[in-house]
Amino acid sequence: MEKIQQQQHTSFTDDTRLDQLNRTLREKENQIIDLKQKLKLMQQSIWDLPICWGLIFVYAPLNGTCSKNNPQKCFMKMTTPLKLGFAAALAAMSCGMSFAATLASDNAANSPYSSGNWTNGDNGGTGFGAWVFGGNTVSGTTAKIASSTLNGPGSIDVSGSSFQLLDSGNLVDMFRYLQGDLSVGQTFSLDMKVNFRSGWKGINVRGAGDVSLFQLEVGNGGFGDDYYVKNAATGNGSINNNGYSNNTEFNIAMTQTSAGGGSWVINRTGGVTSTTTGTYTGAVSSIDLYSGWAGGVTSPENTIFYNNFAVVPEPATIGMLLGGAGLLAFVRRRRA
């Protein structure tokens, strides 16, 4: 009898190792896809550079008549080298800031999810790598495109659709990589919706080497009926606030404030409203969505929904970009 149990344990261990190897292989395949996409973006940037520097030659030949009644024309009285230098500075500001931030966005209403399917290798939206399914994640069974209203009141849907993750008494997970680490000043954000807090489910935000930088978990590892932050530099612990609500929506935002770390904000809405903040160490590079032993296949209230993934630049970056373009347009208009 003991020998049979040892054989069963060995078989279980081998299956677990095989599942881990398959998951690692899928992650590596996704990293190769990301590298190919980055190469394509670099090739596009090479073609875009002449457009940016072409602004120098469009706005360099400034002219005008200087007088006290038209003081703005005095600016136009610069020598040709000064004109060229000023135009170059404006062009560099606009072009440089445009290349500084790689924007990304995706939601469940995008192609290829519009057919109602969410499958391994799908890559909707822009700026992200393809989805990589873990060993127990099956399209149409544990990973679906559906309305977030299925698990209770409230919604994070776009056109009636969100990403749904559910399990049948095991761990299901999936991964997605950013196209490069989050840059200083950029913010990664998403929406997450839950109802019952059985099992454990949530999001794990990862950095270099797939190390966890921040984790928001519903259920606290199955040991507590709670909402819990883990692995952050500061702010770890329960964020239960005013307790359970069958309409619980989280907006999670990770802002890279330096090369070595950043700040996170969780805004809770729905039946309870609250804001929780903290910091993390490292640079955001990928996410891991998961659900374990929650029983969502048999009970919709136990499922978890995600949507509206985005990477945006800081407002100051957008302002500088628009300001540079506006000043260029103003100077050009004054030529008339």
Residues 42 and 151 in one domain: no
Same-domain pairing of 200 and 125: yes
Q: How confident is the model at residue 48 (pLDDT cuts 50, 70, 90)?
A: very low
Q: Report the predicted TM-score, pTM, of the whole model to 2 decimal places.
A: 0.69
Residue 285 has pLDDT above 80, yes or no: yes
pLDDT at 299 over 80: yes
Tens of pLDDT, residues 169-188: 899 999 999 999 999 999 99
Quickly count: other Cβ atoms within 10 Å of residue 68's Cβ.
6
pLDDT at 319 > cutoff 50: no
**Across the chain, what does the average pLDDT equal?**
77
> 94 and 119 share a domain?
no
Looking at the fold, whether 210 and 225 belong to one and the same domain comes out as yes
Percentage of residues of the chain with pLDDT beyond 90: 55
- Domain span at residue 146 reads 104-312
Q: What is the C-alpha to C-alpha distance for residues 238 and 175, in angstroms, rounded to an integer?
A: 25
- Domain identity same for 223 and 246: yes
If asked whether residues 256 and 141 sit together in one domain, one would say: yes
pLDDT reported for residue 318: 45
pLDDT value of residue 210: 97
> Mind listing the pLDDT tens digit for each residue in 31-46?
565 555 445 444 444 4
Residue pair 154/147 in contact by the 8 Å Cβ criterion: no
pLDDT of residue 35: 53
Same domain, 203 and 296: yes
> How many domains are there within the chain?
2
In this structure, the answer to whether residues 120 and 250 fall within a common structural domain is: yes
Tell me which residue of 108, 154, 306 sits closest to 218, measured CA to CA: 306
Per-residue model confidence (pLDDT) at position 296? 78
CA distance readout (Å), 308 to 159, 163, 187, 290, 332: 12, 9, 13, 17, 39
**One domain for residues 269 and 160:** yes
pLDDT band, very low/low/confident/very high, at 297 (cuts 50, 70, 90): confident
Q: Is the predicted pLDDT of residue 100 greater than 90, yes or no?
A: no
| Residue 302: pLDDT over 90 | yes
What pLDDT score does 25 carry? 64
> What is the identity of the amino acid at 100?
A
pLDDT of 231 higher than 60: yes
Cβ neighbours, 10 Å, residue 217: 22
CA 11 to chain centre: 38
